[in-house]
Amino acid sequence: MAKTFELSAQKREEAGKGAARAVRREGRVPAVIYGGNEEPVMVSLEEKDVVREYHNGNIFTNICEMDVAGEKFKLLGRDLQMHPVSDRPLHADFLRVTNKTKINVDVPVNFINEEKCPGLEDGGILSVVRRDVEVVCRAIAIPEELVVDLTGYTIGDSIDSTKIDLPDGVEFAISDRDFAIANIAAPKEEEPEEEEGLEEAEGE
């Protein structure tokens, strides 16, 4: 089951750029709750709370239990606009979720048992193609990570999507083909040192 975090919000009545700027001047972030066949709800959040959960990696992968003036919402962050210069949050979108809500979400890949990988022991390099993989799953059951076991892989081996055991109810967004996750690349050969005096000889 997906992890959860909590946020408290205030309802806001006015929409538009001017109203949003006024909210930001108060140190808050304008946001909207949508989905679930219900009317959107405009809210504002403490900027420091949004920044904390964003840097903790919670906004897009963990369920947000939001309290809006005593009313409880179960949500998932779907968009967070950031200022291109100051990197401060400008606006957030949250989707209502239920036990049946299915979403597409990026999940990080974790590589384990590097010490049991002959290819790495022989000097090979783990070349990661995808550090995150998009999956389709229920919003309340987002996996924290996808695990790749490196045990037994040798230099030249490719690790594709079939090597990942997905939790029940989780599918890859790319379903029509296998795709590469990583490979064990051969060690880079050292470039031969230039012969001493080569430049002088070329100059002559």
Q: Model confidence over 139-177: pLDDT tens digits?
A: 988 998 999 999 999 999 999 999 999 999 999 999 999
> Three-state DSSP class for 161?
helix
Q: What is the dihedral of CA 175, 178, 184, 189, to 10 degrees?
A: -110
What is the CB neighbour count within 10 angstroms for residue 121? 12
- Nearest in space to 57 (alpha carbons), one of 120, 98, 115, 2: 2
Helices and strands per DSSP (H, E), number in the chain: 4, 13
- Mean pLDDT for the chain? 89
Structure tokens at 143: 């996996």
pLDDT value of residue 190? 61
| 26 band by pLDDT with thresholds 50, 70 and 90 | very high
Closest CA to 79 of 71, 89, 67: 89
**pLDDT score at 191:** 58
Question: Is pLDDT above 70 for 28?
Answer: yes
pLDDT interval class at 198 (50, 70, 90): very low
* Mean pLDDT of the region 91-114: 93
The distance from CA 145 to its chain's CA centroid, rounded to whole angstroms, is 10
Q: Which residue has the higher pLDDT, 170 or 17?
A: 170
Determine the pLDDT at residue 11.
93
Give the whole-angstrom CA distance, residue 147 versus residue 154.
Answer: 18
3-state helix, strand, coil in the chain (%, to 5): 20, 40, 40
DSSP E strands: which ranges in 25-82? 28-34, 41-46, 63-68, 71-82
DSSP 187: P
Give the pLDDT of residue 194.
54
pLDDT in tens, 66-95: 999 899 999 999 999 999 999 999 999 999
Q: Is the pLDDT of residue 203 over 70?
A: no
Q: Is 108 helix (H, G, I), strand (E, B) or coil?
A: strand
Residue that the structure tokens 């799953």 belong to:
137
Q: What is the side-by-side order of every strand in the sheet holding 180-185?
A: 125-128, 180-185, 158-160
